Structure 1
Amino acid sequence: MQPLFLHPRDLDLDAPHLFWATPPDDALTASLATLGQTTPALVFPGEGRPVLAAGARRAAVLRVLRGRTLCAVAVEPQDMEPELAALPEPLRLGAVYLASNLGRAVTDAMAVAAARYFVAAGGAEAYETLAASRLFPDGDRRGALVSRWLALPPALDALLEAGHVPLGAAGALAALGAATLDALWPLLTAVRWSRANLANALTWLTEAARLAGEAPEAILGRCGALDLPGRGLSPNDLAAGVLAALRRARYPATTTLEARFAALCRTVTPRGSKVRLSPSQGFEADAVTVTATAKSPAELARIAADIAAMAAAPDLPRLLRVAHEDDPA
């Protein structure tokens, strides 16, 4: 391998095969400024100017340090395995860059970025052969999830990197149409979704649309969820509000009964009481479950008094038969 000393500005630091390149941090900048470059970059000599194969962050720092050159090692085809040397240049560059960075912790977003590069450069087979086998050990289910994610628009990759959308939601998102994804975009960018919450939201949305015989984006447009991101809610309240709006769209009767039950509970339960009432599942029975926790005889006596007061409350009969009561509205 031939050592070279190059001016950093002569190298393309935005080449597509540098799919994990990120801006240098302060620690790397300080190290190169004080100690100099201790690890050479890798370049392919080529017929024109050298092509950077690895070391983009070092080159970026040296660009702004006056009078510095980049120490690099030229990787010649004869230095490679025959199978690697025979690859088209885009795949060879990607394979060398990937191999030189495998010591890094690979996030889901990084795995998707690598996958998109290899699929674009050589198709799904090139990705499976050159990247997937190196990125994911046997039994790692992330490999299958990344393959599903590749069916999604690349614009979603930024949301994956930012932590707004989890890799595990790839299948559910891929099942949506383009118009639905576009309509969901404000919610995908506003909420940091867990896999379970996003799965519930998409299930409620698509089921509500199927029952109504409408497109999901039509349901989304009138359920109120899209009005919430601009109200200055906390992240937790925003997520809860969006989920509640979508659940109402899917289960309008159940959520109406839940709201009516909660309102009646406030009139039946003494203020400050530790007694909690809950309806039967799905409001299928005219019954309530009474729960309370006592840590002392005095607390138990207070709970007993509260239950006695609740038994005498005028609204208790309505609470027990809430599913049969006509909507007061």
Structure 2
Amino acid sequence: MPGDRIVLLALETTCDETGAAVLEGPRPPAVGVPAIRSSVIASQFDLHERFGGVVPEIASRAHVRQILPVIDEALRRAGVTLDDLGAVAVATRPGLVGALVVGLTAAKALALALDLPLIAVDHLEGHLYACQLAHPARTVYPCVGLVVSGGHTSLYACRGPIDAEVLGGTIDDAAGEAFDKVAGLLGLGYPGGPEIERAARGGNPSSHAFPRSYLRDDRLAFSFSGLKTAVLYALRGQDARTTGGPVPPGVVADVAASFQEAVVDVLVAKTRQALARTGMRRLGVGGGVAANARFRERIAAMADEAGVELFIPPLSLCTDNAAMAGIALAKLAAGQVADLDIDVTPGLVRPSR
């Protein structure tokens, strides 16, 4: 490896995906966007599907089983060994506490054994940094950042990769959690996002007038609990959930389409409001819900209409992954290295419906 380059091993265990990635970038104090050499994800989908949501204890135990094989595979695909590494990064917040501890323990062990700097990464900052990873030749920051996922729905004013101010967020449920809950009400599978999107393709988004909370409110706030309740009442009106019978396919499609449109309406409107308030001309979007095709279509149309440059990662970088912890090289260049006694900072990631 040339002396002006550094190889980073990044780990991700915030929720139910065990991830490891190898990135190569400029050696600090030089700055630049790292290239992804490999990114490996071990999914826990089969373990949590029957519960309709993530079970924290099961997630933690799966991370313990998967973390070393995932690291080995990431190194193999990148064509490097442990001796080639120059730093280790790991997401330490927010997330499920037991899951976070697995990744941090592995990262600490590697950093100690190999005498490497350890960089602690914020998972949400990583979601937005995925925009920069996906567009290395373009300037993403400063920008308004929207993170929309299963556990988080938040807006940020991002002056740089590691310099962000919270503008607002959800006061109750995250958008992704609402997708999971409504999918359950409709008798669809888990995770709910792809299932709702699939069902919505055959439905009428105007068939149900579901609420759009805070749509005309000056606050940069989101709320999806009332929307979930409205879906429940709509289904009770069909006598499906009260009798225990399946929801008719036509009803599933219409409710899914109307629900999806309500969520997208609010996300797009509040993001437009944040852009107007900050005056920023760039928009970065990250998180699992950003993989939704209808949302991507609507947010792109809004950005085009507003004359704003939109940055949104490919689907592989929207859902949880370790590559987005490549933001660690920006932290390393800024001298933000963690001590080996660092602990995790769990946040609210609602585990099940």
Do the structures match in fold with TM over 0.5? no
- Structure scoring higher RCO (CA < 8 A, sep ≥ 6) equals 2
TM-score range, shorter chain: under 0.3
Largest Rg, 1 or 2? 1
In proportion to residue count, which structure has more helix? 1
In proportion to residue count, which structure has more strand? 2
What TM-score, normalized by structure 1, do the two folds share? 0.27
What TM-score, normalized by structure 2, do the two folds share? 0.25
